Structure formats: C-alpha cells, structure tokens
C-alpha cells in the first residue's frame, strides 16, 4: 500500500504531541493508498491503549466522502513499545477491511508499520512511501 510522505510526517507529529500517551486517528484514501490522516481524540488517555472518539470517526467518514475517498484504516502509537500489535490491539480490531498502522517510539529511530487482519490475525502489509 502506498502512503504519502507528508501523511507519515503528520502521523509522527501527532504521536509526538500525544506523548507519553498513545495517539490515534483514521486513515483516508483508496484501496491502493493512504492519502490523509485524520487525528482523533483518545478517549482512554492511556500510554498502552486507545479508543477513538466516535465523533472523530464520523468526522473522518464525512471528510473522506467529501473528497470521494474512504476511511480505509486506523493508526495509533506505541509510546514505549514496538510496532508489534498488542493483544488488546488484536482484541479490539473490529474492521476486517481496514489497515492498521502503528507508530513506535520504543525504538531509535522511531518506526512505522502497517498491518491487515487476516482470519483474526495481524499480518504485515507492505508500506511504500511516495
């Protein structure tokens, strides 16, 4: 899946801003690429969990529709952990057709990885930066 470099920069900035807590948001684009990040409030206010504010989720849906795109995924950060999805990430992943992007500040330099759900398991998805 393709992603614009500017979108990665926005996601990293959001994640840094939220430290030491997790940030979260929605990914907007098409089945072949991520064109925009839509930041959301983390209702959990936690360094190990996130819960996207439903108002922000609906806001992302409306923003995507206005530009004839779709919400295609979710992003969140792991302030101290790896980019590997946590057990709670898997338990709470509820959209089989979404991609899941994780930003990690637990490594130097920080990392970003993309996953897709396949039969209840996260699998790595190739992320091509444009």
In the chain the domains, ranked by start, together with CATH numbers, are 2-129 (3.40.140.10)
Average pLDDT over residues 104-130: 90
Provide CB contacts within 8 A for 9, sequence distance 6+.
none
Cα separation of 43 and 98, whole Å? Answer: 20
Q: For residue 27, how many other CB atoms are within 10 A of its CB?
A: 27
Strand partners, 33: 2, 30
Q: For residue 8, how many other CB atoms are within 10 A of its CB?
A: 19
Please write the tens of the pLDDT for every residue from 18-77: 999 999 999 999 988 999 999 999 999 888 899 999 999 999 999 999 989 999 999 999
State residue 39's pLDDT score.
Answer: 97
Residue 94 has pLDDT above 90, yes or no: no
Share of the chain above pLDDT 70, in %: 100
Q: What are phi and psi of 8, to 5 degrees?
A: -60, -45
Q: Residue 21: which of 99, 76, 74 has the closest Cα?
A: 76
Q: Residue 19: which of 105, 92, 88 has the closest Cα?
A: 105
């Amino acid at each position: 899946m393709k992603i614009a470099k500017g979108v990665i920069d926005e996601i990293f900035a959001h994640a840094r801003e939220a430290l030491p807590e997790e940030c979260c948001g929605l990914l907007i684009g098409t089945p072949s690429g991520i064109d925009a990040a839509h930041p959301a409030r983390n209702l959990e206010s936690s360094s190990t969990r996130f819960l996207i504010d439903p108002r922000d989720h609906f806001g992302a849906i409306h923003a995507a529709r206005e530009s004839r795109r779709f919400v295609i995924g979710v992003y969140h950060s792991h302030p101290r952990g790896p980019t590997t999805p946590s057990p709670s990430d898997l338990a709470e992943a509820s959209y089989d057709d979404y991609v899941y992007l994780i930003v990690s500040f637990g490594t130097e330099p920080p990392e970003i990885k993309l996953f897709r759900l396949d039969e209840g398991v996260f699998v790595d998805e190739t992320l091509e930066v444009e």
